[in-house]
């Protein structure tokens, strides 16, 4: 399922995930994420991006560009899970798995395709919609 969201969706997830009234430091990050996930050929040999790649771009941008004043890693984790679930995918949500992924993102060791592959590895078999 191809699900497109807008910056308001990210703001709604902020309220749900963090339950705090954190002012967004840089709304342009959320607007940029909206545009990026709509790209249908992000790389010449990677046409038709899936929900995992889109969730990966959200996680990558939130972790690296830090649109919030605090708790960006947790926010990115929550946004990626929320997007995958809204797209009909089910993934393991234990933060320990995600913590290692986030550490690798912060260390600039992964690109969006490698992040997406890791997210796919978190998929719960037989649990997709």
Give 70-120 as a DSSP string. S-HHHHHHHHHHHHHHHTT--B---HHHHHHHHHHHHTT---HHHHHHHHH
d(CA 61, CA 57): 6
Tell me the residue length of the chain.
Answer: 129
What CATH class has 21-121? Answer: mainly alpha
pLDDT 10s per residue in the chain (129 long)? Answer: 689 999 999 999 999 999 876 789 999 999 999 998 878 766 656 667 899 999 999 999 999 999 999 999 999 999 999 999 999 999 999 999 999 999 999 999 999 999 999 999 999 876 544
| Contact (Cβ atoms closer than 8 angstroms) between residue 112 and residue 56 | yes
Give residues with Cβ within 8 angstroms of 60, minimum separation 6. Answer: 76, 105, 110, 112, 115
First to last CA, the chain: 9
Q: Quote the tokens at residue 54.
A: 């889109």
Does pTM surpass 0.85?
yes
d(CA 58, CA 125): 23
């Amino acid at each position: 399922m191809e699900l497109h969201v807008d910056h308001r969706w990210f703001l709604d997830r902020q309220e749900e995930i963090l339950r705090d009234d954190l002012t967004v430091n840089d709304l342009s990050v959320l607007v940029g994420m909206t545009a990026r996930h709509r790209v249908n050929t992000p790389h010449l040999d990677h046409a038709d991006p899936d929900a995992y790649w889109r969730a990966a771009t959200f996680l990558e941008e939130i972790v690296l560009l830090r649109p919030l004043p605090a708790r960006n890693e947790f926010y990115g984790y929550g946004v990626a899970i929320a997007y995958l679930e809204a797209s009909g995918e089910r993934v393991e949500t234990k933060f320990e798995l995600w913590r290692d992924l986030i550490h690798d993102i912060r260390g600039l060791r992964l690109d969006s395709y490698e992040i997406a592959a890791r997210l796919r590895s978190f998929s719960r078999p037989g649990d997709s919609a």
